[in-house]
Structure 1
Amino acid sequence: MIYCVEDDESIRELEVYTLQTMGMDAEGFSDGASFFESLKHGPLPDLVLLDIMLPDMDGLTVLKHLRNHAETSALPVIMATAKGTEFDKVRGLDGGADDYISKPFGMMEMVSRVKAVLRRAGKNKKETVMCSGSITMDVERRMVYVNDKEVILTLKEFNVLKYMLENKGIVLTRDQLLTHIWGYDFDGETRTVDVHIRTLRSKLGNGGAEIETVRGMGYRIGGRE
């Protein structure tokens, strides 16, 4: 989960939307008070994108508070600073920020910096156990369960399901599945994907309903959660 602490509503919504589009969970906060209130009642986020200019307390004060408390002292933080304010950048880094980004910034630059900090913090590792509804996949053991009962899949079926779980909630086109699983570009053989999805649904039993057909686009898992 990425927390975006930004008082400008349009920027905050764009940050959250972009991160979600890139497959990351994200939530926005307009000020330091709402951000700290959320920390009290839920698990810690993986990273905080923190604006320096906030209405109730500035981002440097928020950062100092995080670093001075044991439970949040190692929480990765990227500071968003105004363009050209080198003093703020230096103070942010000296205060324990993991990185900074200067406003106005492009959304792809933001995503790149978030991924880089997560990678350095060890938060970007592939999950070894993934779930959607009644389906559970243990990647390392290459085992799949539906309602705690093992389901035997072929290698291709396993890889299709794994790819969909890795992109949970995202619509995958047939040619994306072909390229990733079968290793060749789209050439009209979409029936291959459809046959494997049909067989996969059948083997998953009740769990097969988790795989949703998105008409005219492709398939998605976990879209109803």
Structure 2
Amino acid sequence: MAATRVLVVEDEEALQALLDYNLGKEGFEVTLVGDGEEALLKIEEDRPDVIVLDWMLPNVSGIEVCRRVRSKHETQNIPIVMLTARGEEADRIRGLDMGADDYLTKPFSMGELAARIRAVLRRIRPALVAETVTAGDIAVDRAAHRVRRGETEIHLGPTEFRLLDHLIQNPGRVFSREQLLNAVWGSDVFVEARTVDVHIGRLRKALCKHGHDDPIRTVRSAGYALET
């Protein structure tokens, strides 16, 4: 299954490296940015599954990043865990009032951060941590690596399984070919964008093999979405 994508917004390089290593070891796919302005651009370009956000940042503060993420319909449901050296109760309340889902005061243990991220995902976006995810009549069992549509078992190749697993996490959301390439093949692997079309075609064929309607919507010049 596709790894949970975590955007870490932290300007301290030593802590960046620790977060990258430890969250990667926990199975998360980590992207690092060093200031609030860059974070907002990154979130707009390729929405992460969860944001780990430092309070004190150059250019745009973490609290302002949080406010802007929550103010947009497209990003308002992304879970946010804030990191800060501020331990006063008033500051914690302000962070939570601005839309943070959880709060860790520095210094903190990497194990606790990973546990907080998983807890937030279970609460807010359970599809990212559930073993079985459903959308309409399609069910993906990640543990058994099996897919069912209604009462019928659907046989998929590994790439098609990863594609479906990614699409089913956000039913109705349109993913560009580049976003699907990064999520399914990885950003460090060179694969042509048209390869996505080939595998989407195979996924469609498998899902519609037994007379079912096509659940994948093609959006011209934009990408693909799974409809329920």
Aligned to 2:62: 59
Aligned to 1:78: 81
Alpha carbons of structure 1 residues 67 and 147: separation in structure 2 relative to 1, 3 Å:
closer
Residue identity matched to 1:12: Q
Q: CA deviation at 1:145?
A: 3.2
Alignment of 1:143-222 (within 5 A): 143=155, 145=157
1:66 and 1:146, CA in 2 relative to 1: closer, same or farther beyond 3 A?
closer
Q: Does 1:119 align with 2:107?
A: no
Give, in angstroms, the shift of residue 96 of structure 1.
1.2
Contact 1:4/1:27, CA 8 A, preserved across alignment: yes
Aligned to 1:138: 146
Q: Which residue of 2 aligns with 1:100?
A: 103
- Give the superposition deviation at 1:60: 0.6
Unaligned runs of 5+ in 2: 133-139, 161-185, 187-228
The residue identity in structure 2 corresponding to 1:109 is: E
Match for 2:90 among 87, 92, 104? Answer: 87
Q: Kindly tell me the number of residue pairs found equivalent between the two proteins.
A: 143
- On the 8 A contact 2:11/2:35 being kept in 1, the answer is yes
Deviations 1:172-202 (Å, cap 9, x if unpaired)?
xxxxxxxxxxxxxxxxxxxxxxxxxxxxxxx
- Structure 1 residue identity aligned to 2:121: L
CA distance in 2, matches of 1:87, 1:23: 34
Deviation of the 1:55 alpha carbon: 1.1
* Distance across 1 between alignment mates of 2:114 and 2:159: 36
2:74 is paired with a residue whose SS is helix
Structure 2 Cα separation of the partners of residues 125 and 31 of structure 1: 32
The corresponding residue for 1:133 is none
TM-score, normalised with respect to structure 1: 0.57
CA contact (8 A) 1:81 1:89 kept: no
Structure 1 residue identity aligned to 2:25: T
Alpha-carbon shift at residue 75 of structure 1 (Å): 1.1
Partner Cα distance (1:126, 1:24) in 2:
16
Question: TM-score of the superposition, structure 2-length normalised?
Answer: 0.57
SS for the counterpart of 1:55 is coil
Question: By how many angstroms is 1:16 displaced?
Answer: 1.8
Equivalents in 1 of 2:53, 2:158: separation in Å?
40
Q: Which range moves more in the overlay, 84-93 or 101-110?
A: 84-93
String of CA shifts for 1:124-144, please: whole Å, max 9, x gaps. 1236277xxxxxx53453745
